Amino acid sequence: MPSAQDLPQLVGTEVGVSRWFQIDQDRIDAFAKLTEDEQFIHVDPDMAKHTPFGGTIAHGFLTLSLGSAMSYDAVKALDGVVMGVNYGFDRLRFLAPVRAGKRVRGRFVLKNAENKGSDGGVTRWLLTHEITVEIEGENKPALIADWLSMQMVRDQI
């Protein structure tokens, strides 16, 4: 596990790559039902085959939502971390559709690490990771985002 003191040296480097995640029709259908976004390009293979996509595609937000699992795979927790919370996105672009049956994975680069101060023996670190979600066998990624998280790290004595 890296320590908070390691963060400045890690900025600008790739900190990890996740495993591959299968995006099959069952996963797409479950996401559609949960989010009430059942547009035909996601859930109707017969209609979707007549679109420029040639079949059903994953929701962009489905692909994005896998970022948490990808992060758990790829980004090591800081030594002494008490908890981390999602802080949002500075930039998010959906660049290519993920067709049903494809696999995706996340590649993480630490872009910035900002010490936001200490309180009660815990220092808050605002981390920005660029996540690129690759589609297996394709040149263009599904998405690229600057993802912010706030990490609460126990102060070292």
pLDDT per residue rounded down to tens, the chain (157 residues): 788 889 999 999 999 999 999 999 999 999 999 999 999 999 999 999 999 999 999 999 999 999 999 999 999 999 999 999 999 999 999 999 999 999 999 999 999 999 999 999 999 999 999 999 999 999 999 999 999 999 999 987 6
Q: Using CA atoms, how far apart are residues 108 and 126, in angstroms rounded to an integer?
A: 15
* C-alpha radius of gyration, the chain, whole number: 18
pLDDT at residue number 2:
85
- Structure tokens belonging to residue 59: 């929701």
Q: Enumerate the domain spans of the chain.
A: 4-22+59-154
Instruction: Write out the H or E segment, with its range, that includes residue 73.
Output: helix 67-74
Q: How many CB atoms lie within 10 A of CB 49?
A: 11
Measuring CA to CA, which residue among 81, 80, 94 is closest to residue 135?
A: 94
pLDDT at residue number 94:
98
pTM higher than the cut 0.85: yes
pLDDT at residue number 157:
62
Rounded to 5°, the CA angle 140-70-52 comes to 30
Strands (E), 30-137: 81-94, 102-119, 122-135
Q: Using CA atoms, how far apart are residues 55 and 33, in angstroms rounded to an integer?
A: 19
Residue 42 near residue 59 (C-beta atoms within 8 A): yes
Calculate what percentage of the chain has a pLDDT beyond 70: 99
pLDDT at residue number 72:
95
What is the maximum span of the chain, computed from C-alpha positions, in angstroms? 63
pLDDT at residue number 105:
98
pLDDT at residue number 115:
96
pLDDT at residue number 156:
76
User: Which class in CATH covers the domain with range 4-22+59-154?
Assistant: alpha beta
